[in-house]
Amino acid sequence: MHTPVSRKLVNESYLVFASMQEQKAMQEDKTINRAQLLKFSRNYRSIIRSCLLELQNTSEGIDADVAIHNESQMQLYSIMDLVWSLCEIIFIENLPGGVILLRMVEWCKWNFPLVDDLVRSCMSSRDNLPYQHPEYWNAVTALVLQGRLAEARDLLKLHPEFQVQVYDSYSCMDELLRKMPVFSYHQGQSISEFEIKWQHWQAECVKRLKDGDFDTKPELKTICRILTGDNEVLTEVSHLCGNWYQMLVTYLLYNNPTTKVYDLYYHSQVCIQMCNSHSEWGALDNILLAVCAFDIDRVIRECCEHLSNWWLPAHLSDLLNASGLVPADAEKNQVEIELQEILIVRFAESLMSLESYWNVVAGYLANCGPLSQQYLALFVQRITLTSEKKASKVLRLCEKHNLNDEAQSICRQLCRQALREKRHGDALSWCIKLKDSSLAMYIADEMLSVYAKTGVFPNIDLIDYLGSSVLVSERLTFLGKYRDFHKLHANKEYKEAGYLLLNLLISKIAPLEFWPSLIMDCLLLLSKEDLIYGVEETTNLLSCLNTLDQKKKVLEKFSETEKNNHLKRMQHLRVALTNNLAKAIVS
């Protein structure tokens, strides 16, 4: 499934699959009407056909391995095309009796070009005139076997012994071929009317055969025997009959042209008996027999067993299930749904080995059946996140399908990775998305410790623009506000800065380890000329100072010199605050 051509198959068919799911979602009973279904079926078939064409066109100029692989791919695609086209005729088109045969004649014509090859070799040979070509009679007979009587007549006319005026075996045959009735459903002919005409015609053929009209020319006699529905003659011309399914068309044409879909199985058994000698029974035969038997389960099962990939069973079963052909019996329905789910999951699994397919795999898993969310969740955990863009796409996928736990775990994973690589800004943006306050607190602490060591805030360009996201964690809010304080101070807006600082201390969102720094900032402000703090504020600050004195924990982390410095500063601050209080009271 990884070659360029199969990638086209997978991607194009995924788009058809996705639009089918959309259609289904619009209907309540999850079925699609016949016309639409036929359109989707034709879409799929045209995709298979175009891939087949492309494989055929690229057959030159490639090395041996690729050529072998291409061959097997072409075989696979032709089988898929054959099976799908027959399924379309039998299951989807829902044709009335009599019309089935017409479609099957067409199907035969398009899929088995042996006859066309014969005709072409007759017509295009340079040395002989057509009738002298050794394959001439084979070509005519084969055309009759496939029911293409107009073409047979044209070819017959090329024989010199055919003279219009003289009534002899040739013109007799021509008349019979011309007069064969064809069921014209669209002109409103009824089945019984057609049957009468046809039986009349066949009786005429029998009569002329008995009368010995064709005794002079054995080839014409053979053809007439075919027209009379003589089955023994088919063994004589078996080399032209092809497989049992081609013979089925012949058999039906000249024995039972008004056959209904349900009788196909019986007739195909007869043909298989007749054909038994030649070819071996293969996978394709099994599948086609199941189609004729109108047994959808068996078709899917045979496809799974015998084809090398899951594409056909997964998509075909999806299409057929949407048609409403599956019985309404609840229990059987459940089995069908589960089977379909497994088929799609197996198909999606086969795609997983190519990383590029992950969007398509996710699309399939999201629509496989009742357990789609679980499958999707498992898959999402396996996607490797190579870049931020891919991570965003995966998160968008999770969001769409309500996989909140997976989304959270992805964000957490990315956040931790960023932290390990010391990219604090990136980590912060992920944990804000996550709304995880403990991680945010950890990151804010890291940033504050950087500030404490260097005196410079890291990632200012992020902190300044966090907006309402600072509320994710208290520590983060503190960081933001502390940075604001520094900005105000730098802008010489001392009064606002002072009030902010006070708020930070009073509201207790500042971590205890930072109080000493905050106290220092206080000192700076107090040493300014203008009075910044009034009576109330100064009293508050004094009480904060007292609280700090009582918390011995802060001093534990300090070394001896630091402890001494700290106590000295506290002393200075007490003095400064008292002075300030005095000033405030007086003014």
Partner 1 sequence: MSESLIFVSQKMSRVRWKPTSTSLQKSNVFAAGSYEDTKNSVSLWEITQTNKLKNNPEMEDIDNGQPRKFSSYTVKGDVTGLDYADSNLIVAGTSCGDILLFNSSESLVLQHEWKRLHGRGGCTDVATSLPGIVSVGEDGNINLMRIESKRPLRVIEHGDSCPITSVRYLTSSEIITTNTVGQLRMWDTRSPSDSPTRIMVSSDQLVALRSVDHHATQGHVLATGGADGCVTLFDIRKECAPVNKLQVHDEDVWEVRFHKTSPSHLFTCSQDGSARRLDSTFDLKVMARDGGGTAPEVSEVVSKCGLSINSLDVSGSSLVCCNDAEAIYVIEDAV
Q: Which residues bind partner 1 (CB under 8 A)?
A: 4-5, 7-8, 11-12, 14-15, 18-19, 354-356, 358-360, 363, 386-390, 392-393, 396, 421, 423-426, 428-429, 432-433, 458-459, 461-462, 464-469
Give me the least distance between CB of 69 and partner 1, in Å please. 15
Which of 423/566 has CB closer to partner 1?
A: 423
CB nearer to partner 1: give 7 or 301. Answer: 7
Asked if 314 and 347 touch (Cβ cutoff 8 Å), the reply is yes
Nearer to partner 1, 146 or 469 (CB): 469
Pick 482 or 533: Cβ nearer partner 1:
482
- φ and ψ at residue 253, rounded to 5 degrees: -60, -40
- In the complex, what is the shortest distance from the CB of residue 48 to partner 1, in angstroms, rounded to a whole number? 13
- Residue with Cβ nearer partner 1 (184 or 356): 356
* Nearest by Cα to 240 from 125, 120, 112: 112
Give me the least distance between CB of 415 and partner 1, in Å please. Answer: 12
Report the largest interatomic distance among the alpha carbons of the chain, rounded to a whole angstrom. 143
Give, in degrees to the nearest 5, the angle at Cα 114 between 109 and 116.
Answer: 65
Closest approach, Cβ 401 to partner 1, in A, equals: 13
Question: Taking the complex as a whole, how short is the minimal distance between the CB of residue 505 and partner 1, in angstroms?
Answer: 27
Closer by beta carbon to partner 1, 466 or else 545: 466
DSSP code at position 187: G
Hey, is 27 helix, strand or coil?
A: coil
Q: In this complex, which beta carbon is closest to partner 1, that of residue 12 or of residue 168?
A: 12
The alpha carbon torsion through 507, 512, 513, 517 (nearest 10 deg) reads 40
Distance CA 160, CA 240 (A): 24
- CB of residue 442 vs partner 1: minimum separation in angstroms? 17
Say if CB 308 and CB 285 are below 8 A apart: no
Q: How far apart, in whole angstroms, are the C-alpha atoms of residue 530 and residue 156?
A: 119
Measure CA 140 to chain center. 47
- Taking the complex as a whole, the smallest distance from the CB of residue 256 to partner 1 amounts, in Å, to 40
Which CB sits closer to partner 1, 386 or 587? 386
Q: Smallest distance, Å, CB 5 to partner 1? A: 8
Concatenated DSSP letters for 215-277? TT-HHHHHHHHHHTT-SHHHHHTHHHH-SHHHHHHHHHHHH-TT--GGGHHHHHHHHHHHHTT
Nearest approach, Cβ of 117 to partner 1 (angstroms)?
19
The least distance separating partner 1 from the CB of residue 2, rounded to whole angstroms, comes to 8
Q: Which of 313, 363 has the CB closer to partner 1?
A: 363
Q: Both tokens of residue 413?
A: 């994973």
Supply the DSSP symbol for 507. Answer: T
**Nearer Cβ to partner 1 (312/466):** 466
Cα torsion 223, 227, 228, 231 to 10°: value is 70
Print the SS3 string covering 324-350: CCCCCCHHHHHHHHHHHHHHHHHHHHH
Among 225, 270, 266, 250, residue whose Cα is nearest residue 101: 250
